[in-house]
Copies of this chain bind each other. A is one copy, B any other.
Amino acid sequence: MIANLEAATLKARLVAVDWGTSSLRGALLDADGKVLQEQTHPRGILSVEPGGFAAVFDELFGHWMGESGTRCLISGMAGSRQGWVEAPYCPCPASLEDVRARIVDQGRVSIVPGLSDEHDGVPDVMRGEEVQIFGAIALTGIRDGLFVLPGTHNKWAQVEDGRVMGFRTFMTGEFYALLSRHSILSRTIDADAPMDEAAFLQGVRVADNGHGLLHNAFGVRTLGLFERRSPGELASYLSGVLIGEELRTLLPQGHHSLTLIGAPQLTSRYALALGALGIQANTLGANATWAGLHALAAR
């Protein structure tokens, strides 16, 4: 016990950063991975001038880097071609060790690479979600199954013995934003209304009718036109049609374990849709990112 305590105190703190397209989150972790402090800023890579990443980092996280031996690991779009420094994609299948071996050092900070996959000549990519998956594995001990990360561009990853065997991206979040704000459907939708479970689940069921999203989305217009659903209900219905479409294409594969990782307002919708299909899911939040960066930093 004394030896373990000494080892822990000898190990350094970690500044864990998730630098995405539109937002920037950071956490100061102690040697055991415990979160000491957290910050979130609207300073995604799109808001940073080329060559300006080091200055933004120093401004926001410099005070966390003072203690001798403190490391910093950055995941997400900061490692893309438009980011701080490019960390080339690690191809699937990819283990924690494979990703760790491709971390790119950039002065005081290190950039975690994303993952790539390919299906029938069409590539797929993720940046940041791989860290959440490895974090979820570390937190739950689940080393096999489907890991689902809802967001603007959702990721569905197949994990075997702790390795990401492959994955697919679904533009569900972006389609919802496009359809509810920019399409003809925006006229019949109240996108700010609270979630309506019955309308959401009707959308999930309709999505499985075999006629596809291009047809089923139009139901949002006609249900409004015939006054069968209110504008608030139609926002939930559209969300159900989109999430149901996503589940339709993936669930026939029959997975024995399904882990949802993400913001509760999104994962709760997926859990509801899955529950209606008789499928239980484990759910994890943002702490998966910090656990993943902590696991990657371990030597």
Contacts and interface: CB of A to CB of B under 8 A. Distances in A.
Given A174-B183, A179-B178, A182-B182, A124 B214 contact: no
Contact of A169 (B213, B218, B228, B242): B218
Report the copy number of this chain in the oligomer: 2
Contacts of A168: 211, 215
Given A178-B182, A206-B120, A214 B171 contact: yes
Nearest to A185: B171
A125 B220 CA distance: 12
Given A171-B217, A213-B214, A215-B169, A123 B178 contact: no
Interface residues of A, number: 44
Contacts of A119: 209, 211
A4 interface: no
A246 interface: yes
A51 interface: no
Interface in A84-100: none
Interface string A211-236: 11111111100110110100000000
27 contacts: A120-B206, A120-B209, A122-B206, A122-B216, A122-B222, A122-B223, A123-B219, A123-B223, A123-B226, A124-B218, A124-B219, A124-B222, A169-B218, A170-B214, A170-B215, A171-B214, A174-B183, A175-B217, A178-B179, A178-B182, A182-B182, A211-B250, A212-B213, A212-B246, A212-B248, A212-B249, A214-B249
Interface of A: 119-125, 153, 168-172, 174-175, 178-179, 182-184, 202, 206, 209-219, 222-223, 225-226, 228, 242, 245-246, 248-250
Given A123-B222, A124-B219, A215-B249, 13 more contacts: A121-B228, A122-B219, A123-B223, A123-B225, A123-B228, A124-B218, A125-B222, A125-B225, A168-B211, A171-B184, A171-B218, A213-B213, A214-B245
Ranked nearest first, the 7 interchain pairs of A and B with the lowest CB-CB distance are A212-B249, A123-B222, A122-B219, A170-B214, A169-B218, A178-B178, A123-B226
